[in-house]
Amino acid sequence: MERYLEIARVEPSTRQGYEGLVRNHIAPLLGNQQVGRVRGEVLDSFYAELRRCRAHCRRGRSAVDHRTQVEHQCDQRCRPHRCRPC
């Protein structure tokens, strides 16, 4: 994906979107697998995870969806995590 992004001729906003998808979904779930080694079973698992939770949380583990990524005092805007698909 990194090589593709280096040569892709797309608008800056499209590139930013692609980079976000790679950073948030493709890299964490598919890692450094070579494209030629990605088989149907791997893709099925990948898409199942995207349908389950966009945060790729671990089931059964309590988590909080914070209102911001920076250090803060939690308030009513910080809530228990609820899985949402992509």
Identity of residue 55: A
Q: What share of the chain is helix, strand, coil (3-state, %, to 5)?
A: 50, 5, 50
pLDDT at 71: 93
> Up-side HSE of residue 57: CA atoms within 13 Å toward CB?
18
Q: Which residues of the chain have pLDDT under 50?
A: none
Residue 80's beta-bridge partner residues?
64
pTM of structure: 0.71
Closest CA to 66 of 53, 80, 56: 80
pLDDT at 40: 94
